[in-house]
Structure 1
């Protein structure tokens, strides 16, 4: 069971400590040594202020490399907007914590799923002054997600995929994109080959599972990182 008062004390240690001492205050706190617990403290802008050694190992970077970066830089682009909405609910006082499975991207550019629990830290005042994020051990195995360094779609492929995901049929999609019907069908066939699927329904499902389409967005939108 998580000791919430201890979390608050830890977050206060982190945020009130000297900025240059990234490797000491959080790591020396007893709670930070709890087995299997990955911990990071964020400021109100979601910038990483401090973390324990498990966090740096999980993301393959040192405190100098990761402290100061936005926490959302470490998650897959397809899940950033839903995660930002969850953090906003903490900062706006609509909830005290949330839990979610997040697709993160490690230092070796591999994607993995990790259970995340985030707490709003108020320290006895109504205003949130920090957010403490706890992560369980990353789930091993290939999650099938394309990382953000792989440009797999042309601009026209991306627009066609968005249209198919929104339920737009071939003729109106061709009119919207100033293509012939045959032109749309050609690009759809190319998308089938790229994503290794047999039909349009499987194409949309595969695109979401790979993180090519943003989660929680309507109309459907391709993550721009994957467009050439």
Structure 2
């Protein structure tokens, strides 16, 4: 993806209309327009609020600078497919930075905008944070992990496969899947990406370091 020159005109995001608008999630959903190279061109109030900055702070920055390194590798593939026309829209789980020491989990939706030549001219992204009731859980309600679960969660957060975790921790593939399934139930997460996102949102994983580690106070 080649970067696009950033305009110095008004940074206003045009709101879609018609079916496209009805298909978009609401309720504190932030919206921004990206150049094909994924630099932020413009955004609305909620988008900047979610990432803890202003238009002056965030416009011109690459989207991946605003996301935690735990962002699924498949996210790059999603954007690549928008760029070359293999798809027009996607939704993926992400973890974003609100400040250097605070993250939030949520869903990011990307939609391709084509120009007159039918080539990608921009990408509209929507970011919808998860329910704040989960993010605001008090220590008394915190979920505790066993030392083995903590090591598996750290591996999942770095993108390790079941086979890689099994070899590293001297477990069977079924053993790894059993513990992953247990954590999915504990955190009420539907899949591994959501598990990592919710673990960050609950404060289980360290922020600002990579690879992330489970904080000791979340281990039994």
TM-score between the two structures when normalised by the length of structure 1: 0.55
What residue is the counterpart of 2:153 in the other structure? Answer: 206
Q: Deviations over 1:78-131 (max 9, x none)?
A: 225321111111101111110112111212532221112110110343211111
Match of 2:13 in 1: 26
Q: Does 1:59 align with 2:51?
A: yes
Give the equivalent residue in structure 1 for 2:202: none
The answer on 1:49 being equivalent to 2:45 is: no
What is the RMSD computed on CA atoms of the aligned residues? 3.8
Aligned length: 155
- Could you say if the C-alpha distance between residues 208 and 219 of structure 1 is closer, same or farther in structure 2, counting changes exceeding 3 Å? closer
1:82 paired residue number:
74
The SS at the match of 1:79 is coil
Matches within 5 A, 1:143-182: none
Distance 1:101 1:124 in 2: 31
Distance 2:13 2:77 in 1: 27
Question: What is the CA-CA distance between 1:26 and the residue it aligns to?
Answer: 2.2
1:121–1:143 CA distance, 2 compared to 1 (3 A)? farther
Tell me whether 121-130 or 52-61 shows the greater mean CA deviation.
121-130
Structure number, greater radius of gyration? 1
Q: Which has the higher helix share?
A: 1
The answer to whether the 8 Å contact 1:112/1:139 transfers is no
Inter-partner Cα distance in structure 2 for 1:143 and 1:77: 22
Q: Normalized against structure 2, the TM-score is what?
A: 0.57
**Structure (1/2) with the larger strand percentage:** 2
Distance across 1 between alignment mates of 2:39 and 2:211 = 25
